[in-house]
Structure 1
Amino acid sequence: MNRFIKLVNFELSRFMKIYIALIVLTGLIQLTGVFVTANSFMAEADRMIYEQGMSQAQFIEQYGAMTFLNFAKSLWFVGPIAICAAALLFYVFMIWYRDWFGKNTFIYRLLMLPTARLNVFLAKAASIMLMVLGLVSIQLILLTLENAVFKWIVPVDLRVDMTLGQIVKWDYLSIIIPQTFTEFILYYGAGFMFVSVMFTALLIERSFGWKGLLLGAGYTAIAALVMLSPLLMIAFTGQYDLYPLETLGLEIGLGIVITAVSVWMGHYLLTKKITV
């Protein structure tokens, strides 16, 4: 366990500069966005009320009171989240390829460490998941701060207040920030499954060269088809023989099987196909 933790810490440290840059970028853009969005609304309110002679009640009736979602729906808020998601998705691939294409082919030194090669696979997957959870935690802190700034700029008469709990229930935020422990396990379990499948596909490509590229793509496609098979059967047959809870249970079972197979195949490839 101690060696596994050291591997996770090592993987995190290799991406830490970019990771911190993503956090700083997200904070700067979103906080700037709160100021811009809220001040833009207030400028319009001032223009209509003080210059056009519209009453506050008429302004609210015509334009509506501002809520935090006016900001959350903007590119100021969504953009940094999309950038972070794209960066981590890209890193799912680079976390392996940089070890092969670095100056000293670092993968061979990594696999010669006195620890099970499965730990290398799991440490890389764990580091990805920890970085995702870290960004989600930072986003929760930022949401609290941004909501406070929003309330500071927009007077109470021109806004509709929302609690943090109400904000995170909105649209895609309810997926990024699950509302219950069960949802957390489901959403982030699916994320771990995705990472495991991608890792295994990458190792297949590394093990078999150009043929591995097709095999890896094929493995990813098969995993996706297996995972979606209950929904595809419903779509093609038009029959819904299972209750929603039974469908969910089947999807969970398939997800566990796919994850277990991916981890086993990754371990097998690292042990038997990639030699040092």
Structure 2
Amino acid sequence: MNRFVKLLNFELSRFMKIYLVLIALTIIVQVVGVIVTANSYMAEANKMIYEEGLSQAQFIQQYRSMSFLRFARSLWFMGPIAVCAAALLFYIFMIWYRDWFGKNTFIYRLLMLPTARINVYLAKAASIVLMVLGLVSVQLIILPLENSVLKWLVPIDFRSDMTVEQVVGWDYLSILIPQTFTEFILYYGAGFMAVSVLFTAILFERSFKWKGILLGIGFVAISGVIMLSPLLATVFMDHYYLYPLETLGLEVVLGLLVTAVSLWMGHYLLTKKITV
């Protein structure tokens, strides 16, 4: 366990500078965005009321009152989240390939450490999960700040106030910030499964080169078909025999199976097919 923790700390420290930039980008862009969005709304309100002669009630009826969701649907809010998601998706691949293509082929030094090779695999996977959770935590922390800035800039007569709980229960935010512990386990368990599948696909490529690309793509495709099999059953069968709760249970079992196979195959490739 101590060696695993050291490997995990090592992986986190290697990405920390970029990770801090992502956090700073999210905070700065979103705070600036809520200011710009609120000021833009009030500028439009002043123009329509004082120049076009609309009453306050007519303006609100035509343009609707300002709420946090207006900002949450804007590029100011979604843009940093998309950038962070893209950066971490790219890092899923870079976390392996930089060790192979670095100046000293660092992967061989990692695999020669006096610890089980699966710890290298798990440390890399855990670092991805922890960074995702860290970014989500930052988002959850700054939401009340952004909500307060919005209330400060927009008079109460022009806005519809929302609590942070209402905000995080909206659309894609309810996936990033689950409402219950069960949803948290399901959503982030699915995320860990996806990471493990991609890691194993990468190891197929590293183990078998060009043939490994096809093997990796095939592994990802088979994993996807397994997870989608309950949905595919509803398409090809005239009658679907499982209730929603039973379908959810089946998906959980299939997810655990795909994750277990991915971990086992990744361990096999690291120990049997990648030599140092």
TM range, smaller chain: over 0.9
1:41 aligns with 2:41: yes
2:253 corresponding residue in structure 1: 253
1:108 corresponding residue in structure 2: 108
In the alignment, residue 108 of structure 2 is paired with which amino acid?
Answer: Y
In the alignment, residue 117 of structure 1 is paired with which amino acid?
Answer: R
In the alignment, residue 171 of structure 2 is paired with which amino acid?
Answer: D
- Alpha-carbon separation, structure 2, partners of 1:185 and 1:238: 32
1:13 corresponding residue in structure 2: 13
Q: What are the Cα deviations for residues 54-73 of structure 1, in whole angstroms up to 9, with x where unaligned?
A: 22122112211110000000
Could you tell me how far 1:170 is from its partner in structure 2? Answer: 0.6
Matches within 5 A, 1:57-72: 57-72=57-72
- Alpha-carbon separation, structure 2, partners of 1:31 and 1:253: 41
- Alpha-carbon separation, structure 2, partners of 1:113 and 1:11: 15
Give percent identity, aligned residues only: 75
Q: What are the Cα deviations for residues 15-54 of structure 1, in whole angstroms up to 9, with x where unaligned?
A: 0111011111111111111011100000011112222232
1:244 aligns with 2:272: no
- Alpha-carbon separation, structure 2, partners of 1:92 and 1:160: 40
2:84 corresponding residue in structure 1: 84
- Alpha-carbon separation, structure 1, partners of 2:132 and 2:21: 14
1:54 corresponding residue in structure 2: 54
- Alpha-carbon separation, structure 1, partners of 2:64 and 2:240: 43
Q: Secondary structure at the match of 1:66?
A: coil
2:143 corresponding residue in structure 1: 143
Q: Secondary structure at the match of 1:242?
A: coil
In the alignment, residue 76 of structure 1 is paired with which amino acid?
Answer: W
1:214 corresponding residue in structure 2: 214
1:4 corresponding residue in structure 2: 4
- Alpha-carbon separation, structure 2, partners of 1:21 and 1:272: 38
Q: What are the Cα deviations for residues 55-93 of structure 1, in whole angstroms up to 9, with x where unaligned?
A: 212211221111000000001111110010000001001
- Alpha-carbon separation, structure 2, partners of 1:54 and 1:250: 57
Matches within 5 A, 1:120-199: 120-199=120-199
In the alignment, residue 55 of structure 2 is paired with which amino acid?
Answer: S
Aligned residues: 276
Structure 2 residue runs of 5 or longer lacking an equivalent are none
Structure 1 residue runs of 5 or longer lacking an equivalent are none
Could you tell me how far 1:238 is from its partner in structure 2? Answer: 3.7
RMSD of Structure 2 on Structure 1 (CA)? 0.8
- Alpha-carbon separation, structure 2, partners of 1:170 and 1:57: 27
Could you tell me how far 1:239 is from its partner in structure 2? Answer: 2.1
- Alpha-carbon separation, structure 1, partners of 2:113 and 2:239: 53
- Alpha-carbon separation, structure 2, partners of 1:215 and 1:4: 29
What TM-score, normalized by structure 2, do the two folds share?
Answer: 0.98
In the alignment, residue 18 of structure 1 is paired with which amino acid?
Answer: I
What TM-score, normalized by structure 1, do the two folds share?
Answer: 0.98
In the alignment, residue 45 of structure 1 is paired with which amino acid?
Answer: A
